[in-house]
Amino acid sequence: MKRIQIQTHPLDPIQEGMTFQKEAIDCGAIVSFTGIVRGNDNLIPLEYLYIEHFPEVTEKEIALIVHEAYTRWDFKNCTVIHRVGKIAVQEPIVWVAVASGHRTEAFKAAEFIMDYLKTDAPFWKKEIRVDGSSQWVKAKNTDQQKKQRWLYDGK
């Protein structure tokens, strides 16, 4: 079972985790990742993040990423929730969970999905700082490198 959700309202990883676990029938492992808005970027205090996306296209691209993970590892359930709009410091921005029979597949698939989500899904972050200035976040080479390793180390 696959669930992909883009939402403007707050994300509650604990509630989502409970729902996810109830639905993970015959699974011996659940791995989840929660991404949280950091309070600063390069020591510049942040007020909040604004995230833009491309409705319909974003969901389709995430579905492709999850499908690619399915072709590599044997897992049963997957949920990806990503917030858009205004997100305050310390609030969750993304939640990815994978349920599988055993832990290795869940760990690997969750990491793969997160790595590709960072580099392939059409989201754009803008930082609004405490001093009133703002700036669109630049894509990081380190994220590309994390994705690249899956090309050589397919599993």
Partner 1 sequence: MITIRYFGFLKEALGISEEQIDAQCCKNTAELLDYLRNRNTQWADVLSDANIFKLVVNLNVIHDVTPISSGDEVGILPPVTGG
If one asks whether residue 78 binds partner 1 (CB under 8 A), the answer comes out as no
If one asks whether residue 66 binds partner 1 (CB under 8 A), the answer comes out as no
Nearer to partner 1, 130 or 139 (CB): 139
Q: Which of residues 3-32 bind partner 1 (CB under 8 A)?
A: none
Minimal distance, residue 25 CB to partner 1, in Å = 28
If one asks whether residue 123 binds partner 1 (CB under 8 A), the answer comes out as yes
Identify which of 62, 91, 81 has the alpha carbon closest to the alpha carbon of residue 6: 81
Return the range that interacts with partner 1 (CB under 8 A); candidates 12-20, 67-75, 104-112, 123-131.
123-131
If one asks whether residue 65 binds partner 1 (CB under 8 A), the answer comes out as no
Rg for the chain (alpha carbons), in Å? Answer: 16
Q: Per DSSP, what are the bridge partners of residue 35? A: 94
Minimal distance, residue 137 CB to partner 1, in Å = 4
Nearer to partner 1, 27 or 114 (CB): 114
| Contact set with partner 1 (CB under 8 A) | 35, 51-54, 56-57, 60-61, 82, 93-94, 114, 117-126, 136-140
